Structure 1
Amino acid sequence: MKVNSVSKHVTVVALLLLSTAAMAQNTELVKEKWHWNNKTRQDTTAGYAQVVKVDNVLYISGAVSTEITPEGITNVYRALEQSLKSFGTTFQHVVKENLYTTDIEAMKKYNYARKVFYNNDFPAATWVQVSRLYMSDAKLEVELVAHLPEK
């Protein structure tokens, strides 16, 4: 009986070690990228990709405008729309929006231009006024997180 008990314990330990080793081998994060039809799918000069997809989540880098006007805001959201379309989705799948601007009052004034894109299905959002953005003449930058529908 003692041998059977030891044999069972050895078998259980061996199975645990094998499953742990199998899980450890599968730790690589799979990322799909899109960057404005760039063959490398990323900007190697600045060091970023416009869209990174992990599992069913899209992380969309900021789109910018040099003016906070209805036209400037619309252009930012059209660029974001193109980023969403690169993975076959729309603003209805956006769950988080981060907006950075050098003039929060102007953004609030022209917010109606942004709201059109969400069709009354607004995401969680954070708006922050900053003193400057990466592009020195930019006045607005918006980034998104979207969840793709499960297939």
Structure 2
Amino acid sequence: MKQILCIALAIIFYSCEQNQKNVTKDIEKEIIVESEVPEYFLLRPEVEKAYGYSHAVKIGNSIKISGAVSMNNEGNPTAIGDLEQQMKNCYADLEKVLNHYGCTFDDVVVENIFTTDMPAFLQVSGYRNEIYKNQFPTGSWLGVKELAIPEFMIEIELEVHKSK
């Protein structure tokens, strides 16, 4: 009786193992690997080439956006001494990049803000409520000694997840 029970269990185990292998093979056949070629975007091509960076790169559903600062199309600082206006100018540029990829601020999952004047930023940070109407992304606010050009008081970088 024990031998029959052992044989029966061995057959059941073998049968289950074969079914698992077949299921695994079927799943492997269904997986399609898409090539994820980076798509680069330059907001101000001449400025970005001169400084050696791309304003954004999209790979798959992820988009990384370089820190936006308050500058004109020639790369000169704008709203000098006015942190609130510089912040608004940053968000205006970031919106242009998001629009290029068919995204909005609702698609932002990470926002990092760098500022040379944290107390002033904290006073005007409520403006972000006009940008993020549904939810806020994760991120960090960092007080820094300086940014790329002395007149820049704030820089905002984003990470985006674009749903298909």
* TM-score of the two chains, using structure 1 as the length reference: 0.73
In structure 2, distance between residues paired with 1:120 and 1:29: 30
Counterpart position of 1:23: none
Partner of 1:31: 38
The CA deviation string for residues 111-142 of structure 1, in whole angstroms up to 9 with x for no partner, is: 11122101141000200000000122111000
Larger radius of gyration: 2
Which stretches of structure 1, 4 residues or more, deviate above 2 A after TM superposition?
A: 65-72
5+ residue gaps, structure 2, are: 1-32, 71-79
Structure 1 pair 67–115 and aligned structure 2 pair: CA distance change class (3 A) = farther
Structure 1: gaps of 5 or more residues? 1-25
SS in 2 for 1:59: strand
Count of residue pairs the alignment pairs up: 122
Equivalent in the alignment of 1:71: 85
Q: Which amino acid aligns with 1:30?
A: V
| Aligned mate of 2:95, from 81, 90, 107 | 81
User: Could you tell me the TM-score, scaled by structure 2's length?
Assistant: 0.68
How far apart, CA to CA, are the structure 2 residues paired with 1:124 and 1:114? 13
- Whether the 8 Å CA contact 2:48–2:54 is kept in 1: the answer is yes
Matched residues, percent identical? 34
Give the secondary-structure state (helix, strand or coil) at the position aligned to 1:144.
Answer: strand
For the aligned residues, what is the CA RMSD? 2.1
- Equivalent residue runs for 1:40-119 within 5 Å: 43-65=48-70, 66-119=80-133
Distance in 2 between residues matched to 1:49 and 1:36, nearest whole Å: 8
- Residues 16-39 of structure 1 show CA distances to partners (whole Å, capped at 9, x for unaligned) of xxxxxxxxxx9x86210111263x
